[in-house]
Amino acid sequence: MCSVDSLFLSGNEAFARGALRAGVTFACGYPGTPSTEILEVLSATADRDGRVQAEWCINEKVALETAIGASLAGARSLVTMKHVGLNVAADPFMTLSLTGVNAALVIVSADDPGMHSSQNEQDNRNFAKFAKVPMLEPADSQEAYEFVAEACALAEEFDVPVLLRSTTRVSHGRSRVVARAPVAFAPRSYERSIDKFVMMPQFARQRNRLVLERLAKLRERAERTPLNVLEAGTADLGIISSGAAYTYAREAFPKAWFLKLGMSHPLPVEKVAKLYRSVSRVAVVEELDPFIEDQVRALGLPVVGKEAIPADGELDQEIVFAALEPYLTRRPPRRRRPVMPPAARISAPVPAEPQLPVRPPVLCAGCPHRAVFAMLRKHKVSPLGDIGCYTLGALSPLDSLDSCLCMGASIGMMAGMNKVLGRRAVAAVLGDSTFFHSGVTPLIDARYNETDGIVLVLDNRTTAMTGHQGHPGTGVHLDRSAGPALDIERLCQGIGVRCETVDALDTEAFESALKRELGAQGLGVIVAFAPCALMAPGEQQLTVDEERCNLCGLCLDIGCPALAPGETAVEVSAACHGCGVCAAVCKRGALSVAGEPAGKP
Amino acid sequence: MNGTTTVSFVGVGGQGVLLAANILAQTAMAQGYDVKASEVKGMAQRGGSVLSTVRFGKLVWSPLARHADVVIATELLEGRRALPLLAPQGALICARTIISPGSVLRGETQYPQDIEAAAAARSVTLLLVDAEAVARQAGTVRAANVALLGAASAKLPFSEAAWQQGLAAAIPAKILDVNQRAFALGREAHLNEEVTL
């Protein structure tokens, strides 16, 4: 009997409505059965009320990066994909666990037991364990609807992305949904935080300890959350189950005790122990991998699992009944006390001798990236970053980069952030090798989704950080032989993106290109071109006019290791390449390269 | 530990720390020892701190050790920073070379002046070597890493012949000559210093 308030929805429709109820205002993904309809429904519904931006992305990796950008910007975000899509998005996903989120970020992974329309049958609950993030598993449309808000609340409370696992029978099953009141939550705004969002080693190590501490707290939460319910029965049989498998088991064994896990990772071991105190026979009914079963066995408890329940394909109530029915007539196993897992030890940070100056890696003397960052800082452009030498631009004194997540993440994150904050709030910075690695797809995505923003490709003609390897932009092969070199500018033009190439060390040319972009609309790329200083040592010599230098510190503020304050004027060390970036920032014309002042007096 | 000797090399990226470590590893092999080594070099060219560890003995299991018997430092601050790496009664062979990090250049922090006192406080034998001067005498300041290794060589249990094999195995032929000279000059200058291992 349905009340007036109840709807008859597919799981995917319920996810979409649940997202609206949870205050999700940004959603994206890549289509893949059985996940596709979530965004389609969300977009159609959102069009009516105008609150939500939803879009298809070029692939799941770019979709997740875009949603991360939206989350950082303060929008509750949802990203949807089928199970194998998370393989594509695994790079941002794994490090996202370290950075955490700002506003909630929920990843719907729709698995396909039975491979109705998939090339494999992977069980993505393993990804939750792998990344140490919570996994929610709705069993029907009502739960699909409600769990989005639960996931959002968990994400913001624990600063963690949350995996919401659907399966074909949840996504494409239909059941009654009673609508609930929209949830209330505090709005969030973006704040630069490099130790949280720039995952270079020294910051990632700190975040990793927080991940382990967070996992322990999530385990406590799993014990208390109403999503994990111990349902009393009358038979001497307990069943631990989650998702669609729970519905089959419930129907097959109506008198059994159930531990129904809405939050299946981390496992609530105390609740498992409580079930074992109530019954003498326990089975785990789960589709695909022995994900819960393995953890129960690790407690030293006897359990019926994959020896009876098939480890492949979909289950149904007859399979479950036939599998477990023989065990009911056998003598129950001897009761055992669970051996609770010990709290994991987290290694202490290596104590540094506090009085010793640290020696962080710095951009080399003569590095063309420094010129770009100094100019971005001058024009108050705060870019999202990427992986390479230029990640060092995040550190003092340049302070010119806000994020570093994974290879190629800068452009997608920029897209998400600019969509939420409005037009061109942030730019993206990535290197030439990173651009070819995985910067091309998000650029195509940005073109397709009509993203506004400036992308700076720092083209130093090599993969510098790892020791100057070739890449498609240089055409240099592993054996150093020459091959075809791709032209970034022409590639951009080919996909319809405005692009110009300028000499990164030509301050005036670069500044005017940047100004042109800052005054423009839509999407633009600037290729800041200048070879890595380690490959092309400068031949020019920097000289200091000691009369003019008043030690104001402007040149020191670009963080060049070749410059130091002397007694009366700055001193130049032998490391100087004569790149002239310092001369360009000097306002008194005290620095000059090869006798010619590069800056204006 | 367990009859294995651990020598750690520290310095600043670009100083040839990894090359010096490789010479030692090759020398130890030439001497007939089992050798294992490991290095952290991801930031090596970006002016960051570099650490490379070489372990030798009759049979070496682990490539890594928390404490070293000898630390060879190509820079003074890095040598000072490495003192906690040394086992009690260990030896620090440290170049007098100073490469100030950015925070010192900008006047935010002080370059430490207490290496002698800190070494004494830890009962560490300290040998300070003017490696750059020795290398300059040999023909190029770039060979300071090898000059320093020469100074340390008198304190390590390898024959002259083994060292020569190690140098030849690790150093490119066209710069072998100048490095051999730097090694010899460093070795002579400190042959009679009181460093017991």
* Interface check B102 vs A, CB under 8 A: yes
> Taking CA atoms, what residue in A is nearest to B108?
A357
Instruction: Return the DSSP state at A397.
Output: T
Alpha carbon distance A40, A42 (integer Å): 5
Interchain CB distance below 8 Å, B47 and A355: no
* Interface check A344 vs B, CB under 8 A: no
pLDDT for residue B197 is more than 60: no
3-class secondary structure for A293-354? HHHHHCCCCCCECCCCCCCCCCCCHHHHHHHHHHHHHCCCCCCCCCCCCCCCCCCCCCCCCC
Q: Look at residues A335, A140, A137, A340 and name the one whose alpha carbon lies nearest to residue A238.
A: A335
Hey, what CATH topology would domain B5-189 get? Pyruvate-ferredoxin Oxidoreductase; domain 3 (3.40.920)
Contact B101, B135 (CB under 8 A): no
Model confidence, pTM: 0.94
So what's the ipTM on this one? 0.85
Alpha carbon distance B132, A464 (integer Å): 28
Domain ranges in chain A are 7-190+198-206, 228-329, 368-529, 542-593
Q: Is A111 helix (H, G, I), strand (E, B) or coil?
A: strand
Hey, what CATH topology would domain A228-329 get? Rossmann fold (3.40.50)
**For chain B, what is the largest distance between any 2 Cα atoms, rounded to a whole number of angstroms?**
49
Most A CBs within 10 Å, among B17, B41, B46, B109, to test the A interface: B46
Residues of B in contact with A565 (CB under 8 A): 105-107
pLDDT over 70 for what percent of chain B?
Answer: 93
Hey, what CATH topology would domain A368-529 get? Rossmann fold (3.40.50)
Provide DSSP, A352-382.
P-TTSPP----PPTT-HHHHHHHHHHHTT--
> Taking CA atoms, what residue in B is nearest to A360?
B48
User: What local confidence, expressed as pLDDT, does residue A298 receive?
Assistant: 96
Burial class (CB in 10 A: 0-12, 13-18, 19+), A599: buried
Comparing CB atoms, the residue among B48, B106, B112 nearest residue A361 is B48
Pure H helices in A100-253: 125-131, 141-158, 168-171, 194-197, 201-224, 243-252
Comparing CB atoms, the residue among A356, A392, A397 nearest residue B81 is A356
Alpha carbon distance B23, A377 (integer Å): 44
Interchain CB distance below 8 Å, B105 and A565: yes
User: What local confidence, expressed as pLDDT, does residue A598 receive?
Assistant: 41
Alpha carbon distance B111, A564 (integer Å): 14
Contact A563, A571 (CB under 8 A): yes
Q: Look at residues A337, A197, A215 and name the one whose alpha carbon lies nearest to residue A265.
A: A215
Distances (CA, A) of A416 to A75, A333, A428: 9, 54, 12
Q: What are the residue ranges in chain A where pLDDT is below 70?
A: 1-4, 47-50, 595-601
Alpha carbon distance A110, B33 (integer Å): 57
Interchain CB distance below 8 Å, B106 and A565: yes
Interchain CB distance below 8 Å, A357 and B78: no
Most B CBs within 10 Å, among A355, A359, A390, to test the B interface: A359
Q: Is B57 helix (H, G, I), strand (E, B) or coil?
A: strand
Distances (CA, A) of A293 to A269, A272, A299, A311, A316: 12, 11, 10, 11, 18
B33–chain A nearest CA distance, Å: 31
- A7-190+198-206 and A368-529: identical CATH topology: yes
User: What local confidence, expressed as pLDDT, does residue B1 receive?
Assistant: 53
CATH superfamily placement of domain A7-190+198-206? Thiamin diphosphate (ThDP)-binding fold, Pyr/PP domains (3.40.50.970)
Comparing CB atoms, the residue among B43, B103, B107 nearest residue A361 is B43
User: What local confidence, expressed as pLDDT, does residue A600 receive?
Assistant: 35
Q: Burial letters for B56-86: b for 16+ Cβ neighbours within 10 Å, e otherwise?
A: bbeebeeeebeebbbbbbbbbbbbbbbbebb
For B159-182, how does the pLDDT look when each residue is reduced to its tens digit (9 = 90+)?
999 999 999 999 999 999 999 999
* Interface check B105 vs A, CB under 8 A: yes
User: What local confidence, expressed as pLDDT, does residue A461 receive?
Assistant: 94
User: What local confidence, expressed as pLDDT, does residue A1 receive?
Assistant: 46
User: What local confidence, expressed as pLDDT, does residue B194 receive?
Assistant: 54
Q: Look at residues A363, A556, A352 and name the one whose alpha carbon lies nearest to residue B107.
A: A556
B64-83 residues touching A, CB cutoff 8 A: 77-78, 80-81
Alpha carbon distance A370, B46 (integer Å): 13
Alpha carbon distance A163, A140 (integer Å): 16
Q: Is B137 helix (H, G, I), strand (E, B) or coil?
A: helix
Domain ranges in chain B are 5-189
The DSSP bridge partners found for residue B34 are B57
Domain A542-593, CATH: 3.30.70.20
